[in-house]
Amino acid sequence: MLFYLDENNQHILHPEVVKLCPSFRALNEKEMLYVILYTDYNSIYRQFPEHERKRKAMFHSFGDNESELVESGRILKAVDDYTSLQYNPKIEVARSYQTRIDKWAKQLENEDKPSEVKKIADGITSLRSNISDLERESDIVIQKRGVVKGKMELSYLEELMSNERNYNSIINKPVKLK
């Protein structure tokens, strides 16, 4: 986790992270709290779909839905920087699966054909299983990182910079459709 939130909703930043992302310095406390709650993989709102996470984080941080404020360039830049520093491809795939499940669940409400209902339900079950597997794999990697220290291991800053490079290589890569 890049930030830790205490019971008073104050955030504590690892000082070295600010050096990696100047966009964090441009935000006030409430804006940074929004970025954390909306973006962090371990946020208290992580189980919600993206639009709901965004709404809950806005209300938690600002006491209201301030959508025009969070659409500002500096907050969007901070969200992107935060995402790049914590980037984990397995978690991102799990999030995309969850988005697909949400779409299928809406489609399921309007479906009358038993064969289509079964097909959608089976797809949702399969994706949920895949999400569990991906999350378990990510947790194992995190636990191993926390136990093994020294020698040839990457430092905390090196891991963040590696995450950022990986994120940028994927985001900047054009998608090839077959």
Please say whether the beta carbons of 53 and 38 come within 8 A: yes
79 and 11 fall within a common domain:
yes
Q: What are phi and psi of 64, to 5 degrees?
A: -160, 170
Q: Is 41 part of any domain?
A: yes
Q: Is 114 part of any domain?
A: yes
**pLDDT by residue for the chain (178 residues), tens digit each?**
566 666 665 566 666 677 778 888 888 888 888 888 898 888 888 888 888 899 998 988 888 876 777 788 889 999 988 888 888 888 888 888 888 998 998 888 888 888 988 999 999 999 999 888 888 877 666 555 544 445 555 566 667 677 777 777 777 655 444 4
60 and 114 fall within a common domain:
no
Q: Is 134 part of any domain?
A: yes
User: What is the domain range of residue 103?
Assistant: 89-149
Please say whether the beta carbons of 21 and 85 come within 8 A: yes
Distance of alpha carbon 162 from alpha carbon 123, whole angstroms: 34
Q: Is 164 part of any domain?
A: no
Please give the span between the terminal C-alpha atoms of the chain, in angstroms, as a whole number. Answer: 37
